[in-house]
Amino acid sequence: MPVFFFYKYYSERELKMNIKLQPQVAQTKDGLYAVTYARLSAPLNVQEAVFAAHGIHIVSSAELGYLRAGIDDSPFTLHSRTGTGVFYDDRNGNAVIVPDEAISKQVGIANLVYAHAEDTECVVPKDQRELVYAMVDEMLKNGRAFATEAFATEQEIHRIDTSRFGEDGLTGIMFSNHSLGIRAENYGAWLRGAQGINIQSVFFDSPDFRQLRREPYLTRLRVYGPDDGFVVYGCGRKLGDDYGAFGVRFEKIAEGGAKK
């Protein structure tokens, strides 16, 4: 079972020094990887610092989908924050899904967490915007990110048929990782077969809300489990709270996988 820790009586510095995770190891059903993992409940910056100290990283949405479908009696069906970023682009109103932490590391994890703890958006500082715009445009050009098409609803919801995972660009970016051989369609098949879920719902801030901000801002995807119907959230401000996340490390144990 995953390991849970709570942080309320400790400062961030004390947490980084004193939390001793006890990572566990599981093997994927396809025999490609041994996965070292642990779970921690804390603000995002504490999670990332503690995970790094133990040689693991916060799980990506693609890794999480793979581990849910790819491990017997998987412990990964619980809610988890992920390393997958969502950039709200004020130039065109789109939400851009970035499957690595490049943008949030540029802006600063501490800034992201502080903004959410203050119940506001993490706005990209003016002196960083041109660089961030260039990074986002380059990722979109190279197919390493995906931009949603904004439409006016109270809250923007994308509903994707799980049989279309991999064909659909949004789920392809969220749940695929070519370097690890992870394919979104496998997670979609698991949702449809093992869980009986035909539609994946993904939530973003509404275009009306984005227009009110009039500035580019950033958050992370959070992927929920069976109690919440496996929904995905790229909206809201939950990175400054003690929500849970998985930390993982992949190690290749058979041909066909790429060591990470």
- Are 128 and 112 in contact by the 8 Å Cβ rule? The answer is no
- Token readout for 188 is 């979609």
Please indicate, yes or no, if residue 5 is contained in any of the structural domains: no
Tokens 């506001």 belong to 120
Tokens 């064909």 belong to 167
From first to last of the 260 residues of the chain, give the pLDDT tens digit.
Answer: 333 333 343 455 555 557 789 999 999 999 999 999 999 999 999 999 999 999 999 999 999 999 999 998 999 999 999 999 999 999 988 999 998 888 998 999 999 999 999 999 999 999 999 999 999 999 999 999 999 876 545 567 899 999 999 899 999 999 999 999 999 999 999 999 999 999 999 999 887 787 788 899 999 999 999 988 899 999 988 999 999 999 999 999 977 666 55
Could you list the residue range(s) of the whole structural domain that residue 191 is in? 12-252
- Token readout for 78 is 């619980």
Q: Name the domain count of the chain.
A: 1
C-alpha radius of gyration, the chain, whole number: 18
Per-residue confidence (pLDDT) for residue 102, from 0 to 100: 84
- Report the mean per-residue pLDDT for the chain: 88
Please indicate, yes or no, if residue 243 is contained in any of the structural domains: yes
Give per-residue burial for 23-32: e unless 16+ CB within 10 Å, then b.
Answer: beebebeeeb
Please indicate, yes or no, if residue 198 is contained in any of the structural domains: yes
Alpha carbon 236 to its chain centroid, in Å, reads 14
Tokens 């491990």 belong to 71
Instruction: Rounding to the nearest 10 degrees, give the CA dihedral for residues 108, 110, 112, 117.
Output: -170
- Are 86 and 248 in contact by the 8 Å Cβ rule? The answer is no
Per-residue confidence (pLDDT) for residue 3, from 0 to 100: 39
Surface-to-core class of residue 166, CB atoms within 10 Å of its CB (0-12 exposed, 13-18 middle, 19+ buried)? middle
135 SS3 class: helix
Please indicate, yes or no, if residue 115 is contained in any of the structural domains: yes
CA distance 205 to 131: 23
Per-residue confidence (pLDDT) for residue 10, from 0 to 100: 42
Please indicate, yes or no, if residue 257 is contained in any of the structural domains: no
- Are 153 and 206 in contact by the 8 Å Cβ rule? The answer is yes
- Token readout for 177 is 């990782």
Tokens 């949030």 belong to 104
What pTM was computed for the model?
0.89
Phi-psi region for residue 235, left (φ > 0), alpha (ψ -120 to 50) or beta?
beta
Q: Please, where are the H alpha helices in the chain?
A: 12-18, 44-53, 61-70, 102-107, 109-117, 129-141, 169-175, 184-193, 207-213
CA distances from 216 to 143, 163, 176, 213 (A): 21, 33, 26, 8
Q: Identify which of 156, 158, 160 has the alpha carbon closest to the alpha carbon of residue 198.
A: 160
